[in-house]
Structure 1
Amino acid sequence: DLLMRVLHRVRPYEKIPGSADLLYKKWAERCKEQLIIGDKKGFKANIRGIVEEFDQLEISNVPKPRVGVVGEILVKYHPAANNNIVRFLEEEGAEVLLPDLLDFFLYSAYDKIFISKALSGKISDFVAGKLFVDYLQSSRKFMNLCLEQSQRFSAPSSIYHKASLASQIMSLGHHCGEGWFLTAEMIDLIKHGVPNIVCVQPFGCLPNHVTGKGMIKKIKANYPNANITAIDYDPGASEVNQLNRLKLMLSVAFKNMLSTDESYPPLSLPTMSYVPSSQQ
């Protein structure tokens, strides 16, 4: 999650093409080595190092529209399932934000809390859900601290905050597929200055059509600046149609950015720039 977050934040702005990917590969290898060792001290050192070095990567400060990608978990994260949507959007001049994968597990754990309060009434469901949520959130506490102390990055919001956002327009009893969490992700992105959103799902995925595509009208009513498009991905779907829908969404994003003179949070330029080399 951390590597994905920092890479997508700086890669669209890199001054030296390929420098962000090179830095990503360097830290991906270090993380693999640390997983074998498994010590907590090394884990924290890697987190701090990743944030610091991506915070110092040499970049340009050119304004770009920010686009969030939400939807069904496989299609959202797997490049082969979404026709490499992240690369396409970046090549078209956007910065892409993908919500953390851990949030999906937090959503699943939080459902136990809701079930206890609204359905089963079992204290065991509440305790199990609460313990799992607290454990998962504590596991990224140090990461959040490092991100908050950085110049360029922001920490993810808690699952409790996301649940409160979704509960304003729908029931948290929607547990099929991505359920209420999909709606929460869209609202959370909008509130964090990302009004442009692509909602992806497999063709015929009914749960996500209800809590994703089905909630777009209500979200736009509450947040008039929202620019959301829903796209189905399927082996039989037309890739040309998918790309055209993305380009239409981007054209609106660029138009809104220019017409309203929107100033998205700029990437702070550090006093010292860091350029990775293959020897590091």
Structure 2
Amino acid sequence: MTGSVEEVFQEAGCTGQLCVQTLDGSREVALDADRPVVSASVVKVSIALTAETQMADGRLDPRRRVLLPAGPDRSPGPVGFALYEDDVEVSARDLTVAMLTLSDNPATDALLDLVGVDAVNEHIAGLGLTGSVVVADEAAIVDSIGRDAGFAGWRDLIAWLEAPHPRPEKDAVAERVYANATALVPELTTRTTARETATLLRLIWTDEAGPAPACARVRTLMARQLTRHRLAAGFASPVTVAAKSGGLIGVVRNEVGVISFPEEKYVAAVFTQTPGGAEAGADDRAVNAAIGRAAAVAVGELREGR
């Protein structure tokens, strides 16, 4: 069946890592599941868990007001507060809502600033997940892409790409982006593995990753994620999916989550990569759909063997 999962990725024009497990962890279907991968926004599950744990045990006031100032210092992103033109004030606990449902980057970085990168790493390592590491906030990682391409940062790179330049010059810059971006090298950026992420989800769904209220809050918000074209696309009602997606500059596309049948649940962690630069051309829709199909193939094997 592993070959069937691999064929799903091949047909979509991507490589992939997958780990799908029963909720008790007794059985799994895995493909390259211990290889380090770029977390992208999947890391927001770990950040949410740590923040909700601090709120549950009294270290962080969930009603604490947090100001997200307007201007160039706000973390870039395609949705949510990143698009707001004015100052935003929000509670700490509502930052978690924006982070997990919309994958909001300013909310993520504000929450990470409150709890601390070290606290997230300590929490996750304390669960035995030593291959899952946060190296910096979203703004710093995105900014590094611009710097690695020879610009002052991300915004300068985007401004240059949006300005009129001869096509060969734009192609050359794009090649530098994909060739030099340390954000695409797992060992140099925020990273995890498919198996460790699947384990983290199991621990959250069984209240073993932190205080029960913290785990419940993460589960509830993941169930409300707006993205429905990856894992959720592989399953039909009455099956439900609670998930967190992630992606980076058209190369990394990930989604992790819990697939709930009426009688049982399965955790799934799926990470994919496609070529960038001159070799780019992957069908975004095909790769997104492959994430759901690969998970469905793996779940199907587990259900056949129960």
Q: Could you tell me the TM-score, scaled by structure 2's length?
A: 0.25
Instruction: Determine which structure has the larger strand proportion and give its number.
Output: 2
Instruction: Determine which structure has the larger helix proportion and give its number.
Output: 1
Q: Which has the bigger relative contact order, CA under 8 A and spacing at least 6?
A: 2
